[in-house]
Amino acid sequence: MTHYGLDAREWRTLEDEVLALFTLILRVDTTNPPGGETACALVLKDYLAANGITAELVGELPQRQNLVARVKGTRPGPTLVLMGHMDVVPADEKEWSVPPFDGVVKDGYVWGCGATDMKNQVAAEAVAIARLARAGADFGGEVVYIASVDEEVGTHCGVRWLCEHRPD
């Protein structure tokens, strides 16, 4: 049986890679306010670097840096942006059955603040771009990966800042 062109072993390896990165970034408290996404961005930057991708941290505030990485194709073509945000809403630990920043896998689910909004997608997209880079795929254009900050409050540091200061 195949899943999206991957055999069962390849699919499980991909799931394991996403889960490892996902639970790792869930353990970083990126509650907004006050923010603190740079710590999460550094985890992602290290992961991407281990996969041959250079990423940069950009932003207005040192503790609230967006991560941007690019994988260029072998020929001209369109740009595809994969983007998600790292910040999460406040979590009252008393309301959780597991600590909100432990990134726990329990009863077949991943538990943590940001698990469904949206560190799941941030991790999956990072693995997707890493897999693309590792494969040396022949494609046209460029894939840009952005892990942004400040989506939950949206005042100035995230996508708004990127659009104003780094429209590229």
By C-alpha distance, which of 30, 36, 43, 57 is closest to 117? 30
Query: Active-site residue among 87, 125, 150, 152?
Result: 87
DSSP letter string over 107-138? TTEEESTTTTTTHHHHHHHHHHHHHHHHHT--
Look up 138 and say whether it is catalytic.
no
Both tokens of 25, joined, read 């970034």
Q: How far apart are CA 144 and CA 116, in angstroms?
A: 22
Q: How far apart are CA 21 and CA 46, in angstroms?
A: 11
Both tokens of 168, joined, read 């590229």
Look up 142 and say whether it is catalytic.
no
Query: Active-site residue among 17, 125, 150, 151?
Result: 151
Residues with a known catalytic role: 87, 151
